[in-house]
Amino acid sequence: NAGVTQTPKFQVLKTGQSMTLQCAQDMNHEYMSWYRQDPGMGLRLIHYSVGAGITDQGEVPNGYNVSRSTTEDFPLRLLSAAPSQTSVYFCASSYEPGISGNTIYFGEGSWLTVV
Amino acid sequence: GDSVTQMEGPVTLSEEAFLTINCTYTATGYPSLFWYVQYPGEGLQLLLKATKADDKGSNKGFEATYRKETTSFHLEKGSVQVSDSAVYFCALSDQGDMRFGAGTRLTVKP
């Protein structure tokens, strides 16, 4: 049972560098999303996708880019890393969250430090 | 917009103590409510959920009741264990994405 797999688990970047956080799920979920977790702020939604070819912005999209070319994959790109993007990032997937309490499944997290 | 407010931590209890973590929500529709748990170094795992008013979610000795009249979904456990030490998140989903509270860190001491 792979579930939601995200890589890398740890990454250190220099300011201005770009990188991609990978996320894959094997549950055939239409809905995928990226969150960042910061102390005292819970999880904040960065971007989400309701299906292949469809993406939309969440609460804190600036500085991030996403694409959804397949149902399984939903990579998150940091275009030009800034220290404010130091955080823990979680990928998640589910059937449509608003229907009948569908559960969201999370990856194990990616710890990103921007110096 | 929709939002979730949960009690600030950290919460420190002795083993076998009673636990309550308060959670209230604001939503325009009829959301589903969730409690997620995050153990150190791991992602979030669903603990329990309730999809309509007066539903009670329960799992591993934890329970929470969906109270529409008070817009609340408080988490309770009668006797906590050291292994319950984690961060607990209240969340709602309604018409789309999920909104999370800030999280409450629970530490249980032997």
**pLDDT tens track for B29-73:** 888 999 999 998 888 899 999 989 999 999 999 999 999 999 999
* Chain B residues in contact with A108 (beta carbon < 8 A): 42-43
Residues of chain A with pLDDT under 50: none
* Chain-chain contact of A40 with B102 (C-beta, under 8 angstroms): yes
Going by C-alpha positions, the residue among A34, A86, A89, A37 that lies closest to residue A61 is A34
Residue B110's alpha-carbon distances to A52, B9, B15, B16, in angstroms, are 49, 19, 5, 9
Does A58 lie at the interface with B, CB-CB under 8 angstroms? Answer: yes
* Chain-chain contact of A104 with B46 (C-beta, under 8 angstroms): yes
The secondary structure element, H or E, covering residue B108 is strand B104-109
Substitution target from A103, A105, A108 for chain B, most B beta carbons within 10 A: A103
- Return the residue matching tokens 């990032």: A89
pLDDT of residue A100: 58
